[in-house]
Chain A
Amino acid sequence: MQNDVRTRVREFLAPQLNGRTLADSDDIFALGYVNSLFAMQLALFVEQEFSLQLTPDDMEFDNFRTVDGLVRLVTSKTATAA
């Protein structure tokens, strides 16, 4: 499950990397790979790709700034919904 989520998150981020490497714990905003407005695209991606509804409690930056954070967000939401 986690590996599948990780793969799909990485596929979504790939166009932003321009061939640069990205560790799962790298902050894509701090590295300048994306600008702040990309956060909205990430939220939409998570909701549409994984059929989830994000709530105000999910709106923590740590959920969006790294691959690990996104995987954690999706898997915890999926577990809650199951």
Chain B
Amino acid sequence: MPRHERDIAVVAFAQSDHRRRTDDLSELEMLLPVLDEVRERTGLRARDIGFTCSGSSDYLAGRPFSFTMTLDGVGAWPPISESHVETDGAWALYEAWVKLRTGQADTALVYAYGKSSPGSLRDVLTRQLDPYYLAPLWPDSVALAALQARALIDAGDTDEEALAAIAARSRADAAANPHAQLAGAVPHGGHQVRPLRTGDCPPVGDGAAAVVLAAGDTARRLCGRPAWITGIDHRIEAHSLGVRDLTDSPSTRLAAQRAGLFTAPVDTAELHAPFTSQEVVLRKALRLGRSTAVNPSGGALAANPVMAAGLIRIGEAAARIHRGASDRAVAHATSGPCLQQNLVAVLEGDRA
């Protein structure tokens, strides 16, 4: 497929070791080694970067404007071109992609981080819900995912055994991922909110990730095998859960279609499915067959640093292209309850 002259690629990716808690580090200190790694990998210094965009949430740390603290890590003086999204860093990457696409920069640094350990994540996430009808009931993130899982089981799309197999496969694959928080043989455990068991839920933890994007020849100069973003799109569904068919994800399907996913097969899929049941929904929406390796990194079931886990999916897919393990990959990020918002990116490496 001929490419636009402003083709954009992921040229570097780094992530932290994801941990249950990082009391010894500030958010900035957790992030700095990751920023250092992508800058070292590309040879770009802080002031060489054309645009910087980050994703994080004040509600995780419980402090307003918390993203300003990490700006020290990107050399924000003298002033730089910078932006922030109060959601997963995958959406920060989308903003950076637009910036590069429109020719306003040649390189972009995208980073995201989240420390879930200071608060109670399940309670914190209730504050992103509709404040009139949902938030006053404090339905936590596991409960809402469990409603979706039950709907899938009732529809015959999966059962508890199949969900356990997704968990086992993810954590087995994660054994090869040195950054994973949960890897290897993990007990599936008792019910958290029935029908979801502990093993169906992501670990709660702290982590950070960073990606460098570059346009055209700059990308070729910075990376041996750039992971070209041939399509990217994000879509949203009605916020009321009772309006949606929880067994399907039309927003994911539409984003995938607009991103060009369905024009050719993919060998790799990195799906942001924090709950096993959500992988079932996403496989269906993205029409993934057996020839696609799903979440070879272990996915969000192995490490789910909130606000970074979606960006990590794009980074993991890109990294496989960088090292020649993939030629065409799909990366997916989600935000909100029960896959409310979905971003799909298609990445390709140059064929030898």
Asked if chains A and B come from one complex, the reply is no
Which of A's residues lie within 8 Å of B, judged by CB? Answer: none
Residues of chain B having any CB pair with chain A under 8 Å: none
